[in-house]
Structure 1
């Protein structure tokens, strides 16, 4: 159950929400995309890079003896120009369990960053709204002051004769 927040609503770090976020990350990690060996974002699948086919065979023999299963959905031993050989294997449960603290730590960090980013965006929206309102009031006051000055000038000039000198343009006179 994920809570949805309005873009301008400030969030607090909630223990229950964080625990839910971490649990979801742990569940996703089991079937997530493969990560390279030694990744700080481990998943249930790991891609191993090797320099040669004999090294790949030795590495695979060691892994399979530990319970790893070859991931048949991933390309095996792709060979390309200046690209190392690679194969992907699915971690056995006892190995995946060793990844859980790292996955939880990363999920906790991601949750905190998500809340922080949301709050920064909410602050920007708040500042934007405050600026628009204050600028609207300022401009409205300017417009009122200008209109009042024009009306005062009209009142003061009412009934006065208008004299046009020789230097004034005669095109727009009354």
Structure 2
């Protein structure tokens, strides 16, 4: 999650041609929406960053890419500092199959189509350093699905799902 975040990874602003594509507002502040088009290597338009930047504070409230497969949304905490409140990442790719995999899957195709979706919703922030365990630093080298998360019954008892999307209805049919 942190490896693909353009703000953590860093954006060399000179490598992009920037264009204003719109404007909006958030929390009483005007927001300008800009899109960067890379000018240094072979273009992959789906990777072009789109930034939602506050006109008064210059804070980045949202980042996404041109294909909308990666989204990061930031909100203000009680101190006015921004924190990551929502993340969504969707990817599709093809994976080569070994002969053993082909036999198991009963297919003759050399590749299989894979898709993966990660979604993170931040429910709260802990700022008391005494309560934060910093000894587990391997989490930055792990994939999101490898991180062990304890089941929280209270969360699931009070969780409200949004209305079903077309994608959700399609998955239920299959």
TM bucket (normalised to shorter chain) is: under 0.3
- TM-score w.r.t. the length of structure 1 is 0.22
Higher strand share: 2
Higher helix share: 1
- Give 1 or 2 for the bigger CA radius of gyration: 1
With a CA cutoff of 8 Å and minimum separation of 6, indicate the structure with the bigger relative contact order: 1
